[in-house]
């Protein structure tokens, strides 16, 4: 009898009996799948593309750090420009690289300087306008870094363009305030309508309001609230976190469901806890098992 024949005969003699997993076993499997899903075990992307990359976070992180560090250092040394995302990362990591907004402002300032040197009025006007806009959007710290030279350049630009402009402008946050200074009467109105909404200096609002508030005395609080209404419109998102009324309930419900799932998971995991803990051994060893076969 040949090997193949012997194997076939053995196969007939020892053949596995038909069997079905019990309902309980199937349920246990489903619980395990749910628990694994809750633990983000399953891959959502392709076969192993993302997972395989995430499986080695340290080398990837080191490579990213090296890239940022070398790119950032090179940029810092040579003054070359960095792509905005890389610049943000480098800046966040603490490398001596300008923040994106500062870098942009510096580049606009360089253009403006060149335009001033060339006496190109159109470019000067455009550059000055852009610089003003940029400064208006910058944070205090960033603004302070470029303020002295920006002020000087804007003053030069104003001179060339023959515009009478106060040199303090770049420093003041009210980049939009200058256009209205046409009359003195609206100035009382302007702060009540514009200023409070931007920076929220409610003191200015309440101080300026009284004249107009005389018509709506009881609305004083209402008005103050109306100042806070914009946030209230975004309250939709806040409400949930604040746990107010309906959305608060929703949040609680979600939290409850969220709590339930883990508990279900932990139930499953209770069976699974031991399982899972040992699973790492096993599946590793399972993989190890597979390794020698390669």
Partner 1 sequence: MATRPDLEAVVQRARRGEAEAWETLYRSLYPRLLAYARRQLDDDRAGDAVSEAMTRAVSGIGRFEWKGAGFEAWLFGILRHVIVDRHRRAGRESRLAFATPRPVDDEAADRLIELDDARALRVAFAQLSSEDRELLHLRVVSGLTSKETAAVLGKRAGAVRMAQARALERLRGLLVGAEQ
Structure-token pair, residue 190: 């302007």
CB-nearer residue toward partner 1: 147 or 267:
267
To partner 1, the closest distance from the beta carbon of 50 in angstroms equals: 11
x/- string (CB under 8 A) for partner 1, residues 230-269? ----------------------------------------
CB-nearer residue toward partner 1: 46 or 94:
46
* Cα–Cα distance, 293 to 82 (Å, whole number): 48
In total, the chain counts a number of residues equal to 294
CB-nearer residue toward partner 1: 51 or 56:
51
Name which position in 159, 187, 250, 288 contacts partner 1 (CB under 8 A): 288
CB-nearer residue toward partner 1: 47 or 59:
47
Q: For 79, left (φ over 0), alpha (ψ -120 to 50), or beta?
A: left
Q: Does 60 bind partner 1 (CB under 8 A)?
A: no
> Which residues 6+ apart lie within 8 Å of 280 measured at CB?
none
CB-nearer residue toward partner 1: 117 or 290:
290
Please give the DSSP secondary-structure letter assigned to residue 15: P
CB-nearer residue toward partner 1: 141 or 292:
292
CB-nearer residue toward partner 1: 19 or 58:
19
Residue in the block written with tokens 């038909």? 18
Q: Does 290 bind partner 1 (CB under 8 A)?
A: yes
292 φ/ψ angles, rounded to the nearest 5 degrees: -60, -25
x/- string (CB under 8 A) for partner 1, residues 7-36? x-xxxxxxxxxxxxxx--xx-xxx-xxxxx
Structure-token pair, residue 29: 């499997």
Name which position in 159, 187, 228, 285 contacts partner 1 (CB under 8 A): 285
Residue in the block written with tokens 């005389």? 214
Name which position in 53, 204, 233, 294 contacts partner 1 (CB under 8 A): 294
List Cβ<8 Å contacts ≥24 apart for 238-241: none
How big is the site for partner 1, counted in residues (CB under 8 A)?
58
Structure-token pair, residue 59: 């080398």
Q: What angle separates helix 84-93 from helix 57-78, to the nearest 10 degrees?
A: 100
To partner 1, the closest distance from the beta carbon of 275 in angstroms equals: 5
To partner 1, the closest distance from the beta carbon of 56 in angstroms equals: 13
Do 206 and 200 form a contact (C-beta atoms < 8 A)? no
List Cβ<8 Å contacts ≥24 apart for 62-65: 64/89, 65/93
x/- string (CB under 8 A) for partner 1, residues 40-59? -xxxx--xx--x--------
* Cα–Cα distance, 266 to 277 (Å, whole number): 13
What residue spans of 18-120 are helical by DSSP H?
23-38, 49-54, 57-78, 84-93, 100-118
What sign results for the dihedral spanned by CA atoms 205, 210, 211, 213?
A: positive
CB-nearer residue toward partner 1: 170 or 265:
265
To partner 1, the closest distance from the beta carbon of 2 in angstroms equals: 9
To partner 1, the closest distance from the beta carbon of 288 in angstroms equals: 7
Which residues bind to partner 1, rule: CB under 8 A? 1, 3, 6-7, 9-22, 25-26, 28-30, 32-37, 39, 41-44, 47-48, 51, 271-272, 275-276, 278-294
């Amino acid at each position: 009898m040949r090997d193949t024949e012997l194997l076939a005969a053995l196969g007939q003699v020892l053949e596995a009996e038909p069997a079905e997993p019990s309902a309980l076993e199937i349920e246990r499997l489903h619980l395990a799948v749910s628990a694994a899903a809750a633990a983000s075990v399953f891959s959502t992307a392709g076969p192993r593309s993302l997972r395989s990359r995430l499986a080695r976070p340290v080398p990837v992180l080191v490579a990213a750090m090296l890239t940022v560090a070398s790119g950032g250092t090179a940029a810092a040394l040579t003054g070359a420009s960095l792509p905005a995302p890389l610049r943000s990362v480098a800046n966040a990591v603490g490398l001596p690289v300008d923040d994106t907004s500062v870098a942009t402002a510096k580049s606009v300032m360089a253009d403006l300087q060149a335009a001033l040197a060339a006496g190109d009025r159109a470019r000067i006007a455009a550059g000055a306008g852009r610089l003003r806009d940029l400064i208006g959007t910058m944070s205090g710290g960033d603004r302070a870094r470029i303020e002295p030279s920006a002020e000087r350049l804007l003053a030069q630009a104003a001179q060339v363009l023959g515009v009478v402009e106060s040199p303090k402008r770049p420093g003041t946050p009210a980049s939009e305030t200058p256009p209205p200074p046409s009359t003195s009467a609206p100035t009382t109105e302007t702060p009540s309508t514009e200023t409070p909404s931007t920076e929220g200096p409610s003191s200015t609002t309440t101080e300026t309001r009284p004249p107009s508030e005389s018509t709506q005395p009881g609305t004083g609080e209402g008005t103050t609230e109306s100042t806070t209404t914009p946030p209230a419109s975004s309250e939709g998102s806040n409400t949930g976190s604040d746990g107010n009324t309906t959305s608060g309930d929703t949040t609680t419900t979600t939290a409850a469901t969220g709590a339930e799932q883990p508990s279900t998971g932990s139930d499953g995991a209770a069976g699974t806890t031991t399982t899972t803990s040992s699973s790492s051994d096993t599946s590793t060893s399972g993989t190890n098992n597979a390794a020698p076969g390669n």
